Amino acid sequence: MFFDWLRKKTQRRPAPVKDPLAAFDQLIEDLERQGAEIRKSAATLLALKGDLSRSEERYVRRLEEIDRRRVQAHGDAKVASALDRDRVQTESLLHTTRESLTRAKQDGQLLLEAASELGQRVAELRAERESASARLAVGGLMSSALREQVERFEKVLAVDAARDEIERAHALADIYREERAEAAKPD
């Protein structure tokens, strides 16, 4: 239990991004990197499909050749037995190659779809980033305008406070003047 607590305390969490646009940029960069890896894998599968297609053609030709030789063997049991073994082995290789080719086609299609979806997501994020950038710029302008308005308001308040202070000073001077006038009056 203590070690779990200690492990949780020592695990580092990524620092929160202070610039929201940097968060967009980081996510876009990560998605572009992931898209590049997916496209690289799709290209590898395309090359593999080409190799498998050539192997499939080669095995089909080999089966045709085995059938031709079987006809030419004219019932020779040893030759027929060897050709039957070759045929079974070639059919097995052809079956495996076709399965691999089907899987490579499916996986390639899946990877191309994933790359397309990532591309769309990146485009959406870029548009959202531009919108966020514009909103931040407008927000900054609004903030500076409000700041200026607050500063003007503070200046108006300071002038009003100065006026109030002057009024109090005049009122205090009037009170002292009246007290002096009362004190100077002969009783």
What ranges in the chain are assigned the alpha helix state H? 2-10, 20-72, 77-184
In angstroms, the CA 146 to CA 140 distance is 10
Domain ranges of the chain: 21-139
Buried b (16+ CB within 10 A) or exposed e, 140-163: eeeeeeeeeeeeeeeeeeeeeeee
Please give the pLDDT value at position 11.
58
Q: Cα dist. 67→72, 85, 90, 92, 139 in Å?
A: 9, 12, 12, 16, 80
Count of alpha carbons within 13 angstroms of residue 115, beta-carbon side = 16
21-139 fold: Helix Hairpins (1.10.287)
Given CA atoms 17, 23, 27, 28 in this order, what sign does their dihedral have? Answer: negative
In angstroms, the CA 81 to CA 79 distance is 5
In angstroms, the CA 119 to CA 116 distance is 5
DSSP at 11: S
pLDDT in tens, 97-125: 999 999 999 998 888 888 899 889 989 98
The per-residue pLDDT string of the chain (187 residues; one tens digit each, 9 = 90 and over) reads: 545 655 555 555 555 547 777 887 888 899 899 988 988 888 888 899 999 999 999 999 999 999 898 888 777 888 888 888 999 999 999 999 999 999 999 998 888 888 899 889 989 988 888 888 777 777 676 777 777 777 777 877 777 777 888 888 777 787 877 877 887 777 6
Q: Cα dist. 45→51, 97, 106, 135, 165 in Å?
A: 10, 14, 10, 43, 85
